[in-house]
Each structure stands twice: as C-alpha cells, then as structure tokens.
Amino acid sequence: MADQTEYKKMLTDLIQKQMVVLGPNIALDKARKIPGLQVTDTGEVLDMDGDPQMVLKGVANEYMTLSGEIAQMTLNTLLEKYPTLKGL
C-alpha cells in the first residue's frame, strides 16, 4: 500500500506539470481549492489532510475540468511512474 509520502510526490509532479500546461497561477489556484492540501508556490505538496486517494482525485478533477484529455494523459503517465498508487 502506498504511503502519504508517495502521494505527496505524485501530487507534486502532477501540480508542477500542470503549472507548465496551465500556467502557475491557474494550476496553483486549482490545487489549493482542495481542502487540507498545502502547496508551495513552486508546486511542492507540503502536507495533506484526509484520505490521500480522495485528495489526488480532487486535484485531478480540478485539472480535468480545465484541460480534460491533457490532464488525463498527464495523470496516466504519472500513475505509471507510481505503480503502488491506485488509479482514478
């Protein structure tokens, strides 16, 4: 089972990739909408409260509402990189 550290790394990668695609302001605003998620201005996830799977799903959903298939492809690539995490 994946631990919270693995989720933080994956979320950091996801947010930083979306910062390139969407721009830092939009990407960070969307990530920071998720309750309990603490993200630095560089996109690094410092902390998260609650179920990491739900946090990941929330962030992914925020990005997918903006950039649909691009966000899904990014997420799929990252899920391959982190095989211990559950898919969405």
Which of the pair, 85 or 42, is modelled with greater confidence? 42
Per-residue pLDDT, 70: 76
Under 8 Å between Cβ of 1 and 82: no
Residue with tokens 């690094």: 44
CA dist 85 to 36, 59, 80, Å? 20, 15, 9
Under 8 Å between Cβ of 85 and 7: yes
| Portion of the chain with pLDDT greater than 90, in percent | 58
| CA–CA distance, 57 with 88 (Å, rounded to integer) | 7
The residue ranges of every structural domain in the chain are 4-79
CA dist 29 to 39, 44, 77, Å? 10, 13, 23
Which of the pair, 8 or 3, is modelled with greater confidence? 8
| CA–CA distance, 76 with 87 (Å, rounded to integer) | 8
